[in-house]
Structure 1
Amino acid sequence: MTLLTTAVVLLAVVVAVHLLFTFGLVARLRELQKNGGGGAHVHNTQVPKPGTVVRPFSVTDTDGATITEADLDGPVQVGFFQVGCGPCRMLSDALVSAPPKARFVSIVNGDPDAPDATERLIAKVGGLGRVVVIGVDDPVLTSFEVVAYPTLLYTHSGVVTASGTRLDDFANASGAPAQVA
């Protein structure tokens, strides 16, 4: 009987500890949701900061023309999208509904295993401006310091003036040149 009592007490302790961890985890998730973070969308923490200088790059757009950092003269918006990314779909829908006034370049991380989905995304963002299709870890991502999808950048003469992952991140963006970081 003593062995059974010990086993029940030990099991009760383990269950209580797990329950405490679960309550702690739920509290942390609620705090993250309240502050706009957590999940697949971490608000403005992984985007290039205003003042970041775009490093040299060279890519070819879907029309076969070369785009380099020199093409970022004046105000240019650059959107980074990935095939199969839900937040990317939401951002691209918002951009198509309210097209930007500045020149726009879409950088699409295509999926070789989903060519139809890649073509649909290219067609969707094609109405915004020039489109470039890249692969995973393409050097252009390093040039812009982009580490997450989606990312939307406002640039002026090769310097990031505003950045975010949603259109409402730009509610107060001016598009004016930023101080170089």
Structure 2
Amino acid sequence: MSNRIAVYTGSFDPVTLGHLHIIHRAAALVDVLVIGIGINKDKHPLFDPDERVALVKQVTADIPSVRVETFSGLAVDFVRRCGAKVMVRGIRPMTDVAGEFTMLMANRQLDPAIETVFLMADDRFAHVSSSLLKQIAQMSDDDERLARFVPREIIPAIRKRQSENGKHS
């Protein structure tokens, strides 16, 4: 029997507690979970792709079945290159359902052999987004507040990047 491989794609800029919760849940369902960090040249990320890979690897070091890679282009092509037939998507109830459904339908047209599995965000993380936590990080020096949204171990990297960008209040 071959390994059950699933791929969870996103920008992970930076990885949030919501992402990490989905990663733990998805990893429990498959033999190998590939975290695909998308590279979108039109976006202006806080962290470059290599830094995002390092941060995700840091917070998933306790999950031996997780592999972290970058990709550009279509997610379905990346899923296929990984040898997977399952794409995992985390959704927040109020904000993601319509967009994710549209993406599911497009992905089915692009590659009908790939199934999309949605994992609903836990209510503790349903409001968490990378853009929200970037705002909180910019407006508050309180790391305890930031730790409500991101893994504690990446807070130093966020603070360092803020000071490098001159955005720390």
**TM-score in terms of structure 2 length:** 0.34
**TM-score in terms of structure 1 length:** 0.32
